[in-house]
Chains A and B, each alone.
Chain A
Amino acid sequence: MSRHVVVLAGGLSHERDVSLRSGSRLYESLRHHGMEVTLRDVDSDLIPWLIETKPDAAIITLHGGRGENGAIQGILEMVGVPYLGTPAKNCRLAWEKNIAKNLVERSGFTTPSWMSLSHNTFRDLGAGALIDALVGYLGLPLMVKPQHGGSALGASVVRSAGELPAALVGAFAYGEIVVVEIFVDGVELAITVIEEADGARALPAVEIAPSSGIFDYESRYTAGLTTYFTPARLSDEVAAAAADLAIGAHRVLGLRDVSRTDAIASPDGTVHFLEVNVSPGLTETSMLPMSVSAAGRDLGDVYANLVERAIARAV
């Protein structure tokens, strides 16, 4: 009997546009795979619809906000719809970039030193003094990004202390907390982990080489502005370290089914953890589909297998 799967896409986060493209692509892949698929937005009719329709499984291709902070996962748990991906409580760990960095670092991996600070902290303690302290403590250059969300929205590289206020203002437009971390110059990597019958395994890492030097929103979603190498041009040792890091992050954060870890390989061969995504992008310019393809797999096959795992878990 054909499975009925609902692909949740859209939502109200700043990444709605990207999510719609991810959802649409997965919808087509699964349909070609012979599944009955409903592509659905997240709105006030969703919960009654889930209860009434009772799909066999849900796939969350929402990026940012409720799709990654565990809210939708929690709702699916409440209404009893099996879903592909990380459980709600663990989504929250991955969603908070500073908590994810902390847990991954405690597991013995490397992550750039950082501070996580709210706007209230800057306001109450004085921005000038705090900026001076930040630069004194972490040094330069720095990466500034919102604590939550992806697609490089609100993220910027700061090369002098004078640039920091503007970068902070830009990041605070997307949320009340920012992460300021040491900017590591190196090879930017995206490593996808999928779980199958034989356990979690890392797919070939994608090396990201934006022509502008910065992998910002424009470089991510304009085909032609970034060159991708899959597998990444790494020594066997560094490639293995990148895979270990991604699997390690997947495990320590309690992620499930699929995740994508973003990392930097510095010239000395160290692979630094940056952040992890529980709902990786699936657009035409996203890295997960590149990894799947490089592994000789089909996106629809991979997700169809994961759907079966999700359904089997619920039985």
Chain B
Amino acid sequence: MTGNSLDQHMQRYAQRTNGMRASAIRALFAVANRPEVVSLAGGMPYLKSLPLESLAAEAGALVAEEGLVALQYGSGQGIPQLREQICQVMALEGISAHPDDVMVTVGSQMALDLTTRIFCDPGDVILAEAPSYVGALGTFRAYQADVVHVAMDDDGLIPEALFAAIDACAVAGRRVKLLYTIPNFHNPAGVTLSDERRPIIAEICREAGIAVLEDNPYGLLGFDDRLRRALRADDPDNVIYLGSFSKTFAPGLRVGWVLAPHAVREKLVLANEAATLNPPVFNQMLISRYLAKFDWLGQIKAYRNTYAERRDAMLGALQTHMPEGTTWTDPDGGFYVWVTLPEGFDAAAMLPRAVTARVAYVPGTAFYADGLGSRQLRLSYCFPTSERIVEGVRRLAGVLDNELDVMRTFGTSVSRPAVGPASPSPDTA
């Protein structure tokens, strides 16, 4: 008698699907989106502060006035007007770019995918901060690239650690293709690469023949009104720059971009056309109108003020409620605080207990490709109100108390299976 495995294609899948399995940890995020739960998990912008009525009118006008273009196929590289405007946005961080070298993508996640696709063969090494963005790790894994993490401190990526990682790869005969870095208000770590280190990091990579993939979705969301100079600004030939409207405007539109040296951009456009034909024209045109007609810089300032207030609420609550031995980062912008729990805690194993207590976070292991991060977790302050953030941290403290109680009973050296990086999802973006 033949059994039924419920998947007749099981023997046909590519090797890269090996990690694509149901996950109890991932399933828990279904609960996180419920209003009863204080979700400190997802990186969702606070869209309530957008001028929704005016945007609705603009979207209607777009269809009425330019519908035959907005609803038609478009250029694989993106519409020229938006690419020009993107250059103006990037100029705020010191980048001088030509619109021809910009390609619009379906969110910067697609740019990550395409860049990995054109650069990496299976087994190639990508250097990435420790920890790093879960969505990037998922993409790198999908292309069977190996991630080697590089340590950070409060000033971001440590140049000596980068040197050491490159040396170690060279000794092992491994081919390093890219350094993937989030220099501003890092996801998940919340730290920012110092001004002093930026040229050093760029030079190390240039000397080693490693391209830099600079991912900068949060650069305009600094709380001190100071704009950091992009790595790309001073190294246009070796830095591939990723930008996004997801955090500064609206993630539902799924519009991001990549700025790349001419030859790289040519390949990216071909890859983009192969993947999607073209990025959504309607969404590009809506963003273009938004940039042209709305006070988008004022909107970013409003976002910044909201997030700064919420960051303060979160840091204050952590100070009040966290047990001794817990540490956390102090972000100057962006969405995230990175928390390190005392020895013995396991943030992934603790997540069911947190869900029972109606609070959610992203376990630290999701942000490492090598199983590290069990004592760490990412908290987002971008979406819940300050009052909800304080309540969420209070609930988290209760979870930690209960977990500590269990650890005291069974010992802190109990080893639990490491939970590998989760697949990227909107809950962990």
- Residues of A whose CB lies within 8 Å of any CB of B are 10, 12-18, 20, 43, 119, 122-123, 127, 151, 153-154, 165-166, 168-170, 172-175, 207, 209, 217-218, 220-230, 233, 284-285, 290
Please determine whether A230 and B4 come into contact, CB atoms closer than 8 angstroms.
yes
Q: How does the 8 Å CB contact mask read for B31-52 relative to A, with 1 for contact and 0 for none?
A: 1001111000000000000000
Please determine whether B23 and A218 come into contact, CB atoms closer than 8 angstroms.
yes
Contacts of A217 in B (CB 8 A): 22-24, 27
Selected from B1, B30, B349, B409, the residue in CB contact (under 8 A) with A20 is B30
Identity of the chain A residue whose Cβ is nearest the Cβ of B416 in the assembled complex: A166
Please determine whether B414 and A229 come into contact, CB atoms closer than 8 angstroms.
no
* A123-B415 contact given A169-B410, A209-B3, A223-B5, CB 8 Å threshold: no
Please determine whether A119 and B414 come into contact, CB atoms closer than 8 angstroms.
no
* A17-B27 contact given A119-B405, A165-B411, A169-B414, CB 8 Å threshold: yes
* A12-B349 contact given A217-B22, A228-B4, CB 8 Å threshold: no
Selected from A13, A20, A169, A228, the residue in CB contact (under 8 A) with B406 is A169
Please determine whether A170 and B3 come into contact, CB atoms closer than 8 angstroms.
no
Give CA–CA (A223, B6) in the complex, Å. Answer: 5
Give CA–CA (A229, B5) in the complex, Å. Answer: 9
Q: CB of B387 within 8 A of chain A?
A: no
Identity of the chain B residue whose Cβ is nearest the Cβ of A126 in the assembled complex: B409
Please determine whether B22 and A229 come into contact, CB atoms closer than 8 angstroms.
no
Identity of the chain B residue whose Cβ is nearest the Cβ of A156 in the assembled complex: B417
Ordered by A's residue number, 10 sampled pairs between the chains whose C-beta atoms are within 8 Å are A14-B24, A123-B405, A169-B407, A169-B410, A173-B350, A173-B353, A226-B6, A228-B3, A230-B4, A284-B6
For the side of the interface on B, what is the size category?
35 or more
Contacts of B5 in A (CB 8 A): 223-228
Q: How does the 8 Å CB contact mask read for B134-165 relative to A, with 1 for contact and 0 for none?
A: 00000000000000000000000000000000
Please determine whether B4 and A153 come into contact, CB atoms closer than 8 angstroms.
no
Q: CB of B28 within 8 A of chain A?
A: yes
- Residues of B whose CB lies within 8 Å of any CB of A are 1, 3-7, 9-10, 21-24, 27-28, 30-31, 34-37, 349-353, 355-356, 358, 405-411, 414-416
Please determine whether B352 and A122 come into contact, CB atoms closer than 8 angstroms.
no
* A224-B31 contact given A12-B36, A166-B416, A217-B23, CB 8 Å threshold: no
Give CA–CA (A20, B28) in the complex, Å. Answer: 12
Give CA–CA (A175, B406) in the complex, Å. Answer: 11
Give CA–CA (A45, B406) in the complex, Å. Answer: 36
Selected from A18, A168, A218, A233, the residue in CB contact (under 8 A) with B1 is A233
Q: How many pairs of A and B residues are in contact by the CB < 8 Å rule?
A: 112
Contacts of A227 in B (CB 8 A): 3-5
Contacts of A154 in B (CB 8 A): 352
- In the A-B complex, the 9 residue pairs with the smallest Cβ-Cβ separation, listed nearest first, are A224-B7, A221-B22, A227-B3, A17-B30, A224-B10, A17-B27, A223-B7, A223-B6, A217-B24
Give CA–CA (A233, B5) in the complex, Å. Answer: 15
Contacts of A151 in B (CB 8 A): 24
Please determine whether B410 and A122 come into contact, CB atoms closer than 8 angstroms.
yes
Contacts of B411 in A (CB 8 A): 127, 165
Give CA–CA (A170, B355) in the complex, Å. Answer: 15
* Additional A-B contact list (7), CB under 8 Å, known A12-B358, A14-B352: A122-B410, A123-B405, A222-B22, A223-B7, A227-B4, A227-B5, A229-B4
Selected from A12, A123, A221, A225, the residue in CB contact (under 8 A) with B31 is A12
Please determine whether A122 and B409 come into contact, CB atoms closer than 8 angstroms.
yes
- What is the minimal beta-carbon distance from B336 to any residue of chain A, in angstroms? 24
Please determine whether A224 and B6 come into contact, CB atoms closer than 8 angstroms.
yes
- What is the minimal beta-carbon distance from B394 to any residue of chain A, in angstroms? 18
Please determine whether B415 and A166 come into contact, CB atoms closer than 8 angstroms.
yes
Give CA–CA (A12, B38) in the complex, Å. Answer: 12
Please determine whether A123 and B37 come into contact, CB atoms closer than 8 angstroms.
no
- What is the minimal beta-carbon distance from A153 to any residue of chain B, in angstroms? 6
Please determine whether B31 and A168 come into contact, CB atoms closer than 8 angstroms.
no
Give CA–CA (A284, B355) in the complex, Å. Answer: 25
- What is the minimal beta-carbon distance from B23 to any residue of chain A, in angstroms? 7
* A173-B414 contact given A127-B409, A223-B6, CB 8 Å threshold: no
Contacts of A229 in B (CB 8 A): 1, 3-4
Please determine whether A169 and B416 come into contact, CB atoms closer than 8 angstroms.
yes
Give CA–CA (A136, B20) in the complex, Å. Answer: 40
Please determine whether B408 and A174 come into contact, CB atoms closer than 8 angstroms.
no
Please determine whether A220 and B414 come into contact, CB atoms closer than 8 angstroms.
no
Contacts of A165 in B (CB 8 A): 410-411, 414
Please determine whether A153 and B349 come into contact, CB atoms closer than 8 angstroms.
no
Please determine whether A16 and B30 come into contact, CB atoms closer than 8 angstroms.
yes
Identity of the chain A residue whose Cβ is nearest the Cβ of B410 in the assembled complex: A165
Identity of the chain A residue whose Cβ is nearest the Cβ of B351 in the assembled complex: A173
Please determine whether A153 and B414 come into contact, CB atoms closer than 8 angstroms.
no
- What is the minimal beta-carbon distance from B24 to any residue of chain A, in angstroms? 4
Give CA–CA (A209, B4) in the complex, Å. Answer: 10
* A220-B410 contact given A14-B355, A154-B352, A209-B3, CB 8 Å threshold: no
